[in-house]
Amino acid sequence: MSDSVWLMLPGRFLQLDRREGKGGIDAIHPQGMKFTKMHGLGNDFVVVAAATLPEGTAELAQAVCDRHLGVGADGLVFILPAESGDCAMRIFNADGSEAEQCGNAVRCVARYYFERISKARRELVVETRAGLQRVWLENDGLVRVDMGYPILEGKAIPTTLDEDTVVDQQVEVKGETFHITAVSMGNPHAVIFVEDAAHFPVEEWGPLLETHSLFPQKTNVEFVTVHSPSELEMRVWERGVGQTLACGTGACASVVAAVLTGRANRTARVHLKGGDLDIDWRPADNRVYMTGGAEVVFEGEYYPFSSRFGK
């Protein structure tokens, strides 16, 4: 990895040094955008550190995330200067919609920050659309995040299912009965407990539930099997993306739903297709803590609007 990076300013480029204490900015310029491909348990992101959010983020996210014509990812993530906190994160789903929150992406942002912006730091505050999140780098290299408190009031999630809490509420969809527990971790989740998550037809029911009129801002959908009070298995259909290998906010919502329905303890491991997350919903502060990995895959330059060699 080179020590210098490009920063786009209106009409000109600025080359910055990203060695310790000297910057830490990737680049966006008219012809190309430097990025780092990262993932948290296989939930993958194109991560770009920039001075400002570029225009046309919805189209850019769709193009970058395309697995045939772009880099290929579940989401496009920007690391930006923060008003409060050490840095800000904005996350755009593969369909171009912006999410309020993303558990796997915030761990990737933290890893990026700890490795490229300040190697001395082991603690960080990330500003997201859902609020400030405190993040810690653990001794084993995993990243722990304070994901905040779960929102359980129906109207705030939002769902039209109930104004109060929505716990194991019966819903009919195309002749099939589901019991839904709705939880917001800054973004909406519908958690459904099933006998066998591994073989559940996620692709069939996920899109129908994601876009159901009960969820005015759509929803992420988790299909969860409780193997023991401290061990859950989860598959996810993500709003604006489709089936993914993991979802951090979904794992938090699943543990909260399992506790609310008397199925699990407040501390549990969630097995996802891409790996495990440890979730701890602490009674002392009502906040949910998530611990898991975040990895760099490769770096590159993306040429969104013209071919590198043609123009």
Ligand X SMILES: N[C@@H](CCC[C@H](N)C(=O)O)C(=O)O
Instruction: Please give the annotated binding residues for substrate, written as ranges.
Output: 43, 93, 103-104, 187, 220, 238-239, 248-249
Q: Which long-range contacts (CB under 8 A, 24 or more apart) does 150-153 make?
A: 150/183, 150/184, 150/185, 150/252, 150/253, 150/256, 150/281, 150/286, 150/288, 151/183, 151/184, 151/185, 151/186, 152/182, 152/183, 152/184, 152/256, 152/260
Min separation Cβ 243 and ligand X, Å: 11
- Options 50-58, 95-103, 111-119, 224-232: segment touching ligand X (CB under 6 A): 95-103
- Give me the DSSP letters along 257-282: HHHHTTSS-SEEEEEETTEEEEEEE-
Orientation of helix 103-112 relative to helix 248-260, angle to 10° = 130
- For position 293 contacting ligand X by CB under 6 A, the verdict is no
What radius of gyration do the chain's Cα atoms show? 19
| Binding track over 129-168 against ligand X, x by CB under 6 A | ----------------------------------------
Single residue of 191, 247, 260, 272 touching ligand X by CB under 6 A: 247
If the CB atoms of residues 23 and 188 are measured against ligand X, the closer one turns out to be: 188
Q: Is 90 in the site for ligand X (CB under 6 A)?
A: no
Q: What are phi and psi of 300, to 5 degrees?
A: -165, -175
Q: Give the residue with the Cβ less far from ligand X, 25 or 294.
A: 294
Identify residue 232 by its one-letter amino acid code: L
To the nearest whole angstrom, how small is the minimum distance from the Cβ of residue 143 to ligand X? Answer: 12
Which is closer to ligand X, CB of 212 or CB of 239? 239
- Tell me the binding residues: 43, 93, 103-104, 187, 220, 238-239, 248-249
Q: Quick one: tokens of 122?
A: 């082991």
> How far apart, in whole angstroms, are the C-alpha atoms of residue 260 and residue 251?
14
252 is catalytic: no
Which residue reads 């769709």 in tokens? 62
Query: Which DSSP symbol is given to 195?
Result: S
* Of 159, 184, 220, 225, the one binding ligand X by CB under 6 A: 220
- Whole-angstrom distance, CA of residue 16 vs CA of residue 5: 5
The interface with ligand X within residues 166-195 (CB under 6 A) comprises 187
247 among known catalytic residues: yes
Closest approach of ligand X to the CB of residue 205, in Å: 17
Tell which one of 71, 102, 214, 268 touches ligand X (CB under 6 A).
102
The verdict on 233 binding ligand X (CB under 6 A) reads no
> Does residue 93 belong to the site contacting ligand X (CB under 6 A)?
yes
> Is residue 99 within the footprint of ligand X (CB under 6 A)?
yes
